[in-house]
Structure 1
């Protein structure tokens, strides 16, 4: 795979319209270092559109508050021309302007950032991610162009015209001779020509979809880039192993899905694992830490909210005879193969679970699928005394970043009861969970593969337990705080109502001079004062709880940072 920095910078062109010399100097250094062709226009003239149409850039960075021409207006004009409307435009501004974000969507900007929130290096990463398909295509075209023009022009036109027939016959002869050789050694030459691409699963595809993934692990930033093929994506998308068939047992369905999780000839997961190992070895991570790095990678893939909404509308599973039977035939609720999740760069819990399973299998760890009915997650083999629900597996929450291996989301943390693992190699029996507060009342464990144990949980468990205890304390204090705030609202409403009554008695006393009215006014005034004191007392209690919550949060952050 070719790294973008290895492609000559002439294949990329960035135009930067900015009214600050200082800013353009900083960005110029970042872009030149990244290998981009970079041109700046510090004070853009009115004919900005002509400049863009002449330069034909791959990407435009636009200051939204320039003199002579507003960046929003310029972007809108560029999107109206056929030869410029395809160019991505990033709007940059020094001004905090939430309205500008909405303008960006309506007036031509593809994104809108503030200088203070993003470094030039982050913008370089964003542009690389956006432009990869275009850049690789230009690079391919550049190579092809060199190949085409390198041979014919070594001959002078005069010699070519004089020996035209001989040359043509010679070319035909060479084609006839070299054809079988090309077929014979095609695999070798194909590998050399395409050494910057992933070897396509099943068959080579022609429609490339580059993807770059960025994530964080233990405070370090990581990224890997890979190419995927639309043709292979479609093959996975239409694979019969993923179809929900009415009446199929879910255990049988998982078995057929996992057996086809990576099709023969598909080395995409192998390439991902290779890159993860390289990143880990470069940082001198041990094997358990490389597992954590891989989990953080899967967690960083965005959650597919639209698919989740579609699943919620589909029929639910039916429970019968210790196993679930599929009732849903809604295509949008089918799980995705790992290749599909990587290609689309999004997935729900089931999709990301299968991706994690495919990766962790190739890291040679014992893996299981944990199914809670409304939620799925991978499990990794670990010492039973430290395992989740005493199953011998540590639960891995993959839907969002930040969860450590063995750390449970609060919605399923009420599983307190030890669980007895079945002897079955693929599916264990369901365990009933008696806690009424639990969102999930039973759990299924599907053993996928045998392998190494994840032992880092032994070192992490004290911290995980401490963090979980802090979470429980915070939940209790938040509930108490919520109750106090409700009391304050009620008392403030009473105070407002009482003030109306006070005003009425006061005005009546002024108009009549009735001493009885004055005494009643004093009684109500005393009640009002008592209300104020009660509100102040409860408010002080709330402030104290808020202060304790902040202390807990700092303690929680300190523990997590040490992991």
Structure 2
């Protein structure tokens, strides 16, 4: 049996320009195109009606792709993961027996791309999309759907001329959350005009330049209580769901982690955002989101720090935790903010600035591969102890992997034995048939007890083998369920 591990893989790449002619129209089924002459707007060619559907923003794309989805059983899903049939290439398949999890089947190579949350779906679109001109796109008929908003309970908000509405979405402990906040365009402009350069008198140089530089971005403008207002709203949501203590830390950090990564900064100088800018734009890179996370941790009275990894140009917030469980014995537990990771878990790889989840659970709390660590803006207060449970969950998954690997080796060995036994049984049967054909019933009858005994042993071994396969498959399902839950991919 083949072990199937599914993981989210987020890929960033430049798209190539793809020209469409009428003769090629039949080959566009299931493809995703980016309108290169109009801000890279994304369109999906639905295989069922060959029409194009506008994918819009992450929430829109996610809902459209799910609404156009095709339900599939677990049996067919696992078969498709190995070799998808032609009729699902380019389709969005929904695992109806596993919480409706959605996957986009790449029509070019048959790969299954997991559409976990809206941002995951949007990244799949951006990474797999191919450029198309306005002229060629216009040749494809536009399809329309009635899409339910991502947050159907949100009331209509009437905005003033200086107001900007930002809709935050995130997930924690299997629950989706939504928060609408209004920001001031004028205040945003004021932050945008603020300096990003640390200045000081020669005779008054700060003791730690980097520490003082980071303090600039952690300090709001006079009179700006935006983060305090958001904290009140976040705490109300948490209180409603009974989220307190260490779980409150995780809930707040999930809010930050689900803020979309600002890939546009990768091509520029990556000038840091002030916290207000990150919230207003609802996007940021590792440093921007680290500032926000540290500020939030301080608001809920937890010790916090910024953990810098200059060798990889990466930053992460840290929350105070027990030294023996902390990252690099620093007294702080690493928090990856570029994607969702449990607190304390360090991504094995960074791709285009973002941490990537992995099916490997060895050394996931070790940050040594990121290079030297520098700690700034350290504060002491409450300590986070939820890392104990996270480590226990990771250890359980590691042991399950070991059990799966051991069982796989045993199954392979038994499979070879069964093949040999079957060959011996077939050879014995051939000998018996030869005796029958020659009219030699005496020797034929002499071999019957031997054949029956061999057949019984073979069938018993097959039954035992099948039982082990069932246990193996159950462990695979448990592994997939645990890993998806660990990284909130359900």
TM-score by length of 2: 0.50
Larger Rg belongs to: 1
TM-score by length of 1: 0.44
Structure with higher RCO (Cα < 8 A, 6+ apart): 2
